[in-house]
Structure 1
């Protein structure tokens, strides 16, 4: 484990969005309906940003990031990405609020004109930190499970498993009791996420609902939902389909960690604003849930996971795993992970995670058996054109091939690159930018392969 004399080189941190309005997602494929963030959600994210600032951007903090500009946000030092998928603007708006807390308005954000006038930015020097809006239609990295038929098949297999059926049977009476509070929503065990989410939202925002709901019901529903969601978004094999949410986000995490550890690279902070699903997969893939069973489940609003890159007095950089489960935790807690104790060598983490990472949309399309959605159709068409080109080359004579082959190859390559570049499919992570307790059971578990 690293000593207290370690220097923090930088961080990669993930946060779940703040409190929002009602929400629904399909229990079969997790396609989501749009919703909206609430003022409470914005405040939660602002406060989380302030907490992170006090830890990493405060010169007197033992975890202050070395060489970080703590006064003004330096775009060379920070990279921000936000999921712009099924939950609408909730996740993007959460990122904006968090950044307000991390980089508050300052009169240092000013410019002096040629005539000697000094102009401070609007709203007292509000800092506009660029946020990359990650659109699932052309970037799979933050929503790896969406339109993934192999993931859907795994979910259905889980629902058909004996442990699932047994858990549903054991809690059938409780689910039946919940029916009167669900406002007509289906009260079945496969719909457990939507049951809990409705109860949670109403308990926060509807005083009459909170008063009518028996005091133990929300915690009971949370425990069942933790059991349900951990087994939906995890696999025993690190490259299993249940881990698809974690596998898709891994390349951006690994790239951030590697860049931060490189002293010649100015990047010091990578922030990804996401839904709860990647948290569940990453807790499983890193072994932190196995070593800390209380993390076998989904995370609260404004929860945050921090991968802290540290430089010991000797040896290579190390990695520390920190987590704060929303407002349930006052501070970040360090957790053991990767089967170890305390900090681990960064290289150990990178070597273990790299084989499971999904590094391109083409790879994702193959893994998910998708040939039409999220750019997979364009990739399949480009590959078909390439195959037809090769077939033509084989059928014409040597002289003719010198002319037709060259021309067709140019057309094919231009078409493929044009389509892939337009859709952002050549690499994962290209997208448009906009500024602006768990339930323990003795029945075992069924994991996705």
Structure 2
């Protein structure tokens, strides 16, 4: 790290990309994706990252030790961990498991003494089972704000139709036209640049025949184009622009993490979120890190991490934030200036810049993304419509009596059909089904329906 340590580290909001995985396909227009799987290399990358983070933040001899942090057994009151369960299927969650193995490795201290005096150590030499909250994109928009977002799709289409894109397409056409021998039939259009890069990168890592046949400069050229493509899709000139939606929905996680760490009555000291690469692009754009460091205006490597450290200056005053980034296999974190400032940034300045544009609720996301059907928006739209209907003038008592009888019968019939369809009502015999979930439908950020 390039800055001094003349401050007390209160806690860290950690953002981590998954490790190496098998290839997969993303729709260039909507970014819906196919499933894939993590590889042993990916698991090892995450474990090594976790070990590095442990040596940095959970080691009392480290200058960056988090004050008061438990250095042995995992202390759940001090840590919150969540992982995206969508997008790349279980890859992100599985990566996060390996990350926690490095942060809290096996220990013989993970044991219990029974009433008969025998001591039992946890399996695998004292494996620590660290709880991770899996975030389902169907129930929360926080980690994948870009999927099913109609206005974001419009933004992407506008980029593809822009003169800037057309100029790059023309400029890169000779190179792209040379790629078919290495793409197994995949489209070489610039719109498909992410899939071109991912296919070649995965095979360059795992297929020796492919790696030996690929010209030495091709992968770097493909990555440069993919970086340009993805940064323009997942960024925006305005901090609150729809191109930043992947970051706008993620901001509440960051802000809540800082609020919890800064609260002296809250024991939380480490907030960890495992995600795909998209929110990194938006975050780098919104904070100005990418504009000041053009090399970061692109896809972060596997097992990359941003560590937003909340520090208390030795001279007193409000806490400050330090922006650290480790790009995959980079040996250590590098500290970057952000928000057009030099050095650590006051927490209040970060809040003032980010809180006004944060997308805090599913309802806000539905509005921003112009969606009335997906990811809970249909239920919210129905609730709004019912509320508006309740506010309308009521019909006369006489009319209500005539209408009510017919509506009651219709409602009873429809309820029976619906319950039978859901398996909650058995027609013809008595039956009862116990739900596997406490709530039939739950939205993130405290909204429930």
Maintained 8 Å contact 1:8/1:65: yes
Quick one: distance in 1 between partners of 2:446 and 2:178?
46
Quick one: distance in 2 between partners of 1:284 and 1:421?
37
Maintained 8 Å contact 1:141/1:429: no
Q: Tell me, which stretches of 5 or more residues in structure 1 are unaligned?
A: 405-418, 431-449
Alignment of 1:331-346 (within 5 A): 331-346=332-347
Alignment of 1:203-242 (within 5 A): 203-242=204-243
Quick one: distance in 2 between partners of 1:62 and 1:309?
14
Q: Partner of 1:439 in structure 2?
A: none
The Cα offsets for residues 244-283 of structure 1, whole Å up to 9 and x where unpaired, read as 0000111011000111011111000000000000000000
Quick one: distance in 1 between partners of 2:447 and 2:340?
29
Q: Tell me, which stretches of 5 or more residues in structure 2 are unaligned?
A: 405-436
Distance 1:347 1:422, change over 3 A: farther
Quick one: distance in 2 between partners of 1:248 and 1:195?
28
Quick one: distance in 2 between partners of 1:63 and 1:342?
16
Distance 1:428 1:277, change over 3 A: farther
Distance 1:428 1:31, change over 3 A: farther
Q: Partner of 1:443 in structure 2?
A: none
Maintained 8 Å contact 1:111/1:119: yes
Cα displacement (A) at 1:8:
0.6
Maintained 8 Å contact 1:9/1:261: yes
Distance 1:239 1:11, change over 3 A: same
Cα displacement (A) at 1:115:
2.1
Quick one: distance in 1 between partners of 2:20 and 2:259?
32
Quick one: distance in 1 between partners of 2:282 and 2:442?
25
Quick one: distance in 2 between partners of 1:309 and 1:377?
39
Q: Partner of 2:327 in structure 1?
A: 325
Maintained 8 Å contact 1:49/1:100: yes
Q: Which moved more, 1:107-116 or 1:193-202?
A: 107-116
Count residues with an aligned counterpart. Answer: 413
Cα displacement (A) at 1:396:
5.2
Maintained 8 Å contact 1:16/1:301: yes
Alignment of 1:256-295 (within 5 A): 256-295=257-296
Where 2:47 maps in the other structure, the secondary structure is helix
Is 1:424 aligned to residue 442 of structure 2?
yes
Cα displacement (A) at 1:107:
1.1
Maintained 8 Å contact 2:5/2:64: no
Quick one: distance in 1 between partners of 2:268 and 2:5?
23
Cα displacement (A) at 1:424:
2.4
Distance 1:396 1:309, change over 3 A: farther
Quick one: distance in 1 between partners of 2:74 and 2:255?
23
The alignment's TM-score, normalised by the length of structure 2, stands at 0.89
Cα displacement (A) at 1:17:
0.5
Q: Partner of 2:35 in structure 1?
A: 34
Quick one: distance in 2 between partners of 1:428 and 1:281?
25
The Cα offsets for residues 193-250 of structure 1, whole Å up to 9 and x where unpaired, read as 0000000000000011011110000000011111111110001111100000000111
Is 1:309 aligned to residue 310 of structure 2?
yes
Alignment of 1:39-78 (within 5 A): 39-78=40-79
Q: Partner of 1:244 in structure 2?
A: 245
Is 1:86 aligned to residue 77 of structure 2?
no
Is 1:121 aligned to residue 139 of structure 2?
no
Cα displacement (A) at 1:422:
4.0
Quick one: distance in 2 between partners of 1:35 and 1:18?
12
Q: Which moved more, 1:70-79 or 1:105-114?
A: 105-114
Cα displacement (A) at 1:362:
0.5
Quick one: distance in 1 between partners of 2:374 and 2:121?
46
Provide the aligned C-alpha RMSD in A: 2.2
Quick one: distance in 1 between partners of 2:155 and 2:438?
29
Cα displacement (A) at 1:162:
0.3
Where 2:250 maps in the other structure, the secondary structure is helix
Cα displacement (A) at 1:420:
13
Quick one: distance in 1 between partners of 2:241 and 2:442?
25
Distance 1:2 1:192, change over 3 A: closer
Quick one: distance in 2 between partners of 1:248 and 1:227?
22
Q: Partner of 2:158 in structure 1?
A: 157
Maintained 8 Å contact 1:10/1:260: yes
Where 2:38 maps in the other structure, the secondary structure is coil
Distance 1:370 1:429, change over 3 A: same
Quick one: distance in 2 between partners of 1:292 and 1:333?
12
Where 1:177 maps in the other structure, the secondary structure is coil
Where 2:197 maps in the other structure, the secondary structure is helix
Maintained 8 Å contact 2:140/2:444: no
Where 1:326 maps in the other structure, the secondary structure is coil
The alignment's TM-score, normalised by the length of structure 1, stands at 0.89
